[in-house]
Amino acid sequence: MTENMLTDDTLPTVAQAAVSYAKLGWPVLPSAVWHDGAFVHPVTGEPVDDVPLRPREEATTDVALVHQWWNAGGDFSPAILGVTGPAFGVVSVSADRTEQIMVHRWFTTRPTPVLVMPGMPIALFVVRPPFPAGFGQDEIRRFSDGSLVPLPPTTAGETTATWLVSPWETEGKLLVAREFAELLNNLEKAGA
């Protein structure tokens, strides 16, 4: 494990988590926070119209800038939005299929980070692009480049994004999207 990453037994603050994602090379943006039934600006507490506090084009891995954004003061720390693209991609998978993937011998020896929002019937697998042509099936969806993904420990209402498999458990390694597609195809063939 590299010195730049949190360990599993560390309970990170939102700011620490944002810096850790930037160190992984994942572009991040600060986000409004959910408070009293509305999204509010973390510094002013005023309601906002847009959840991201900066344009997607400003997503960054610059640790100093991330540190500045997440330590701007105010009543709340900004939530964390990851921005998909060349550094990481996201695949949405149904809960049933997620269970099949996570117990598959291939996945257990080469896992990739898996994100969930409790109460939602999907899991988000974080993979390394590029995606193979025609990727996706009925219950499998690829997030397009530039998609915003709430990263743990982002909270909306009573729901907090959490890791089933954290990037620290995989030592920052992501399964290549092509290999993830092969795993899905193998599961599909085995189920047929």
* pLDDT digits 0-9 by tens, 135-189: 876 778 999 999 999 999 998 878 999 999 999 999 999 999 999 999 998 888 8
Question: What integer is the mean pLDDT of 44-54?
Answer: 94
How many CA atoms does the CB half-sphere of 10 hold within 13 Å?
A: 13
User: Can you read off the two tokens belonging to residue 125?
Assistant: 């697998």
User: Can you read off the two tokens belonging to residue 122?
Assistant: 């999907």
| DSSP code at position 144 | P
Residue spans of the domains in the chain: they are 14-191
Please report the pLDDT score of residue 189 as a whole number.
83
Q: Does 9 score more than 50 pLDDT? A: no
Q: Is 143 helix (H, G, I), strand (E, B) or coil?
A: coil
CA separation (Å) from 89 to 57, 113, 119?
Answer: 16, 11, 23
